[in-house]
Chains A and B, each alone.
Chain A
Amino acid sequence: MRAVGSGCYPGPVGIGDVQLSFLVEREVFAWWGGDDPLGAARAVGLDADADSVALVRPEDGVMTVGPVSVAVSPAEPTIAALAAAVPPDGWGRSVRAWRDVAVALDAGPVLADDDRARLAAGLPVAAHAGVGADGATVWTARVAVDTAARLVDAASDAPSVWPRLRPYQRAGAQWLHSRLDEAGGALLADEMGLGKTVQAIAVLASRSGPHLVVCPASVAGTWHREILRFAPELGVVEHGSRAGRPRPGAVVVATYGQLRAAAVLADTSWDVVVLDEAQQIKNPDTATSRRARSLVARGRIALSGTPVENRLDDLWALLAFTTPEVLGTRSSFRRRFAGARAGGGAAAGRVAALVGPHLLRRRKAEVATELPARLDLAHGLDPTDEQRRLHRAALDDALGHGLGAGRDRRGRVLALLTRLKQICVQPALVAETVDGGLDGRSASWDRLTELLGEIVDNGDAALVFTQYRRAGELLAAHLAGRVTDAPAPFLHGGLSRARRERLVEEFSHDDGPPVLVLSLRAAGTGLTLTRATHVLHLDRWWNPAVEAQASDRAHRIGQTRTVTVHTFATRGTVEVLIADLHRDKRGIASAALGEAGGDAVGALTRLGDEELRAVLEAAPC
């Protein structure tokens, strides 16, 4: 049966011509249509896998979106097979158009711009019909051809970070790159955990510099390390007191606080400026926001995991940084979209159409085939000055007196380890006097608060585990006004069983509190809390099995979405030692303790004083 020119597909999916679509964010081809997609792939000599992917198709003259049974084959062998085989008559135009591309690539993988444009013009929509991970668009034929060409061009001059990205991250980095060229800026709003940082680094690595990254203090260290890890060829410097003019090719990492204070940042002409956690400038009247907008740069990237597309004022503030001409002045934007501000509806959809080209937001659910059911995010952090001081003082104090021997020694080592872990969580836990403030004292505490804000903004729910009752109480109260309206509920052993059951019950409702703080011992093992898609461990357990048991509260049967598990490790502290043990690698911890994963604390108590200090200080500050 043949598809007819009117665009109506004759009959249900699975019957009709064989079609071939390239899926840009997976970098694979999908064979579909016909009676037997797997057989179609086999007919050209390809070993393909059955899958189901979201495609657009016309139905009664209207575009519809839905899952379609496909056979998926990797890009490179598919191009090679198409170049070698002539598709049978009667197969769809999309197959023949991709054969044209394959033949051209076979002749020489480096295609001139004109050739790519010509080949792209030959692709019908069916040849790039995969629904984007933003759920609202398809990638253009040109992007499909460029991506396929890059995959077969082994000698590509892409930066060295490129092969280490996931396919959808390459698509995102390519998109950013193209938007910087076309529009001077863009907002990458992928959901947390999809790797916005590394996509931005890939763009920085492909340009000349100098670049500026502005981020909250809690992630400045992460930026530094990720740049060194993924693009060591970029020199990275943290903005500090002795900062002079940045050299070309360098990346300067500065905090929002430094952006407010430092004139040199405003006086420099940057190649690309990246604002991480860009929702920090959503209030356009603040000095930070004005300073960010006045930075001089050829390209501007804003990164934010919060859903900005439905909040017109936030959207304006972010796009006023990336692409100021798109929405005009704030007052004119407000006048133009007064209707959308009042009630959303159709007008909000038209705002989305206006800003759509400048905003890429993908959710984990849409990228799910790329992602494991459980995503582990290890947040590495730099200690605050207070944490550094307290950690050193605790070690000096304990080891200065000597830890003694026998049962007493064991008790003293345990007390020391607990104190060190609490300093990492929140110095207020070990302070002699309670002076009220909690902000800015613990890197992981601040980061956890920011993460929860983003999670709640996205309409998701989270579990926060701690082993310290006092930490749970402080955190539950701390979140009120910052992340949630009311203090977060705290499920701990001091509550009656009925009270605990009620907290679990309330949390399980869709409109229940978005954050539940739990002490693992009280939470037990029988609980199912699958409404949560994020699990955050405020502090670490020596035994990875205990942490895994906690994470399983959310990640268990009945959970249909990807669960993200967050852990924190503050550099130069006991947390790095624990993280090292959990990874079970032959690092400092295993070397010192022998069998890792066994009774780690028991092994620590058997070390001599100096060995113990060496292990606890092993990670460099």
Chain B
Amino acid sequence: MLNEFGTTERGRAWLRLAEPLRVVRPNPHLVSARSLARSDRVELRRTVPGRIEATVADRRTVEVELTFPLWDDAELAAARGGEFPGLVPDDGSVRARCGCGRSGDARCRHVLATLIELARRVDESPELAPALRGLEVSGAAADPTRIRIADLDPSAFWT
């Protein structure tokens, strides 16, 4: 089957949090998590440094939140110099909460699906990976001619 998530090095690093190489037994949650991501049922609501908020449209819609540590000053300095000190946080440092209530030590399928979707987004936007660890994003040149309707700010509409 086509490997559709973690197709780039950076995306794969995030995918490993959901699918660690050291796991020896098949994880039944992983199959349904992949399926949720594949059918676009994971919506990343916020992707900000140190924090991901998502909703997963499973049998009912649940909210997932991931938090993880930012790079420290020394690491950031190295990152600014182009040396990334480990793009993905250690597995143990990622805290996950899921609205399904079944999350404990073992991650539920919604958390796994969120990690898989995140891997895909990092594939698509490689600059997202260091940004999630706190590296400043250089202001990408916005299109000075057109604004996508989805990007308009409703609160700035009238005034």
Contacts and interface: CB of A to CB of B under 8 A. Distances in A.
A357 interface: yes
A436 interface: no
Contact of B126 (A336, A347, A350): A336
Given A336-B126, A342-B4, A62 B145 contact: no
Interface string B122-159: 01111000000000000001011111111011111111
Interface string A128-149: 0101101011111011000000
B117 to A, nearest CB: 9
B110 interface: no
Contacts of B125: 336
B79 to A, nearest CB: 21
A5 B159 contact: yes
Contact of A5 (B3, B4, B155): B155
A235 to B, nearest CB: 30
B148 A182 contact: no
A339 interface: yes
Most chain B CB inside 10 Å of its own CB: which residue of A57, A61, A346: A346
A137 B148 contact: yes
Q: Which of B5, B39, B40, B157 has the most CB of A within 10 A?
A: B157
Given A92-B158, A338-B2, A347 B124 contact: yes
Given A336-B8, A338-B3, A347-B120, A93 B145 contact: no
B33 to A, nearest CB: 15
Contacts of A182: 141, 143-144
B145 A63 contact: no
A63 B124 contact: no
Contacts of B159: 5, 93, 124
Contacts of A346: 40
Given A125-B153, A336-B8, A342-B4, A138 B158 contact: no
B7 interface: yes
Interface in A170-192: 175, 178-179, 182-183
Contacts of B3: 338
A336 B23 CA distance: 26
Contacts of A183: 141
A353 B120 contact: no
A137 B153 contact: no
Given A335-B7, A336-B124, A139 B146 contact: yes
B149 A138 contact: yes
A126 B145 contact: no
A140 B149 contact: no
Interface residues of B, number: 31
A126 B157 contact: yes
A229 to B, nearest CB: 28
Contacts of A134: 146
Given A139-B145, A335-B7, A339-B5, A124 B157 contact: yes
Interface residues of A, number: 52
B158 A3 contact: yes
Nearest to A348: B40
Contacts of A129: 157
Interface in A211-237: none
Contacts of B5: 338-339
Given A332-B8, A347-B120, A124 B156 contact: yes
B65 to A, nearest CB: 20
Contacts of A126: 157-158
A132 B149 CA distance: 10
Nearest to B8: A335
Contact of B148 (A94, A136, A342): A136
A356 interface: yes
Nearest to A141: B147
Nearest to B143: A357
A347 B158 CA distance: 32
